[in-house]
């Protein structure tokens, strides 16, 4: 075990875990931030997507000792009032079915839009291809990202 100081959603936390513990489990089990989901553990499904200094990463595959001073943002910290343009678009399109993948989809979509505010259909498809939605809400995700792009 070792002590780590990590910054999540603007606040810093000291945690005592094995250095190889993926950020995903630090968030879920140690900080009780359970919005970030486990789907595969091997960077294949995107359910665990968080932002590391604003870029989308797979938290299941980043051990806590690689984080250093980089800032983590999770779905819980995406916006203060659940009013990020992407969250608003998700609400407007009523995107979720089961909802399990959606935190990861939203985190990936927000990072995509911050890099490419005006994505084409193909940009969206490629940018979102790492996020599985087992319920297949892909049409709505795409439509919501287009709506969000108009409003960011």
Partner 1 sequence: MTLIKTKHNRRSFLKVSAASTGGLMIGFSWVVSCNPVSEVTEHKPPSEWFDINAFLSIADNGQVTVMSPNPEIGQNVKTSMPMIVAEELDVNWEDVIVKQAALNTDAFTRQVAGGSQSIRKGWNGLRMAGATARKMLVNAAAKQWNVNPDVLKTENGVITRPDGKKLSYAEVASSAAGMEIPDEVELKDPENFKIVGTSRGNVDIESIITGKPLFGIDTKREGMQYAVVLRPPAFGMKLKSFDDTKTKTINGVSQVVEFDNKIAVLANSTWAAMKGQKALEAKWQTDGNLEDSDFHDRTLLALLNKKADTDSHARKDGEVENKFKEADEIVERTYEAPFLPHNCLEPMNFFADVTDEKIDLYGPIQTPAGTRRRIAKEFERDESEISVGMSRMGGGFGRRLYGDFAVEAAKISDKIRKPVQVMFSRENDMTAGIYRPATKYKIKAGLKEGKITSYQLIEAAINNNMYGRLPNNFPAGALADYQVDNHRYESNISTGAWRAPYTNFLAFAEQTFLDEIATLTNTDPLELRIQLLKQAKKGVGPEGNYDPDKFIGVIKLAADKAGWRKNKDGIFQGFSAYYSHNTYVAEVAEVIMEKNRPKVTKMTVAIDCGIVVNPIAAINQAKGGVIDGIGHAMYGDFGFTQGTPHASNFDRYRLIRMPEAPEVDIHFVESFNAPTGLGEPTLPPAGGALANAIYAATGKRLYKQPFIKQDFVLE
Q: Write out the residues near ligand FES by the rule CB under 6 A.
A: 38-41, 43-48, 58, 60, 96-102, 133-135, 137
Least Cβ distance, residue 20 to partner 1 (angstroms): 8
Interacting partner of 63 out of ligand FES, partner 1, none (Cβ under 5 to 8 A depending on kind): none
Q: What angle do CA 129, 84, 150 make, to 5 degrees?
A: 70
Nearer to ligand FES, 6 or 107 (CB): 107
Least Cβ distance, residue 70 to partner 1 (angstroms): 20
Interacting partner of 48 out of ligand FES, partner 1, none (Cβ under 5 to 8 A depending on kind): ligand FES
Least Cβ distance, residue 12 to partner 1 (angstroms): 20
Q: Tell me the C-alpha distance between 62 and 75, whole Å.
A: 17
Interacting partner of 15 out of ligand FES, partner 1, none (Cβ under 5 to 8 A depending on kind): none
Interacting partner of 141 out of partner 1, ligand FES, none (Cβ under 5 to 8 A depending on kind): partner 1
79, with CB counted inside 10 A (0-12, 13-18, 19+), is middle
Q: Tell me the C-alpha distance between 128 and 77, whole Å.
A: 21
Least Cβ distance, residue 4 to partner 1 (angstroms): 14
Give the sheet arrangement for strand 2-8, strand by strand. Answer: 11-17, 2-8, 71-73, 49-52, 55-58
Q: Tell me the C-alpha distance between 1 and 41, whole Å.
A: 21
Least Cβ distance, residue 3 to partner 1 (angstroms): 13
Q: Tell me the C-alpha distance between 106 and 75, whole Å.
A: 8
Nearer to ligand FES, 12 or 135 (CB): 135
At 50 the three-state DSSP class reads strand
């Amino acid at each position: 075990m070792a002590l780590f100081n990590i910054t999540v959603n603007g606040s810093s936390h000291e945690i005592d875990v094995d250095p190889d513990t993926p950020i995903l489990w630090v968030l879920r089990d140690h900080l009780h931030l359970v919005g970030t989901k486990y789907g595969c553990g091997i960077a294949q499904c995107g359910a665990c997507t968080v932002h590391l200094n604003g870029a989308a990463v797979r938290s299941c595959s980043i051990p806590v000792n690689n984080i250093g001073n980089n800032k983590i943002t999770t779905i819980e910290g995406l916006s203060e009032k659940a009013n990020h343009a992407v969250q608003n678009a998700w609400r407007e399109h009523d995107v979720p079915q089961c909802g399990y993948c959606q935190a990861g989809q939203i985190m990936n979509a927000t990072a995509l839009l911050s890099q490419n505010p005006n994505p084409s259909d193909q940009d969206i498809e490629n940018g979102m291809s790492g996020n599985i939605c087992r319920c297949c809400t892909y049409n709505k995700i795409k439509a919501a990202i287009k709506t969000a792009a108009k409003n960011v």
